[in-house]
Amino acid sequence: MMAIPEETPDQTRVEQAVRTLLAWMGEDPQRKALRDTPGRVARALAELASGYGEDPAALLSAGLAEAPERQLVVVRDITFHSLCEHHLLPFFGWAAIAYLPDGRLAGLSKLARVVDAHARRLQVQERLTEEVATTLERGLRPRGLAVALTAEHLCMSMRGAARPGHRTVTVATRGELASDPASRESALRLMAASRP
């Protein structure tokens, strides 16, 4: 997890930085349509980075239940959005999670909250996938686990290679869903069933 500097700029300093950025782009920050933009940008960034103030492990543990079930649990189409740490541009898509319980079940909404808590930080998709998997592995202690993220990255769609519509898929597996090829294939097929 990235450490936040001890002297975090207040909203006034963030708004001034946005005014500087607007002027650098060739805009007039005092233009009527832009006067409120610095405040809006500061509030939007605070929301998009709200994961720094959340503990994903605590979110998960609040929804754990002891249960004897041992059948595969799959939750898919968990939408998420994040900011690429390289360009501060969004990437967004959906997550799918599959796990083989070993006496513990997670509240389904808690799985989505874990994804959000990790995604609402500056990220790269590969690390985001691993962080979600690690949090779930430690909290659930399942026999097997798979996390798959599919996302479009605006840093590739809007600039550089300029290839809109592409999707990047990252997968992290643990336990039986890593070591048993047939179980892994079955879980990944279920995780991808509803998306193109």
Q: What is the pLDDT of residue 163?
A: 81
Mean pLDDT of 146-173: 91
Domains located in the chain, CATH noted: 11-48 (no CATH), 53-192 (3.30.1130.10)
Q: What is the pLDDT of residue 3?
A: 56
Q: How many CB atoms lie within 10 A of CB 3?
A: 6
Residues serving a catalytic function are: 84-87, 125, 153, 155
**pLDDT tens sequence across 2-36:** 555 556 678 899 999 999 999 999 999 999 999 99
Q: Whose structure tokens read 């740490």?
A: 85
Global confidence as pTM? 0.90
Q: How many residues does the chain have?
A: 196
Instruction: Supply the DSSP string of 43-87, one letter for each residue.
Output: HHHHHHTGGGG--HHHHHHTTEEE----S-EEEEEEEEEEEETTT
Q: Which residues contact 18 (CB under 8 A, 6 or more apart)?
A: 29, 37, 38, 41, 42
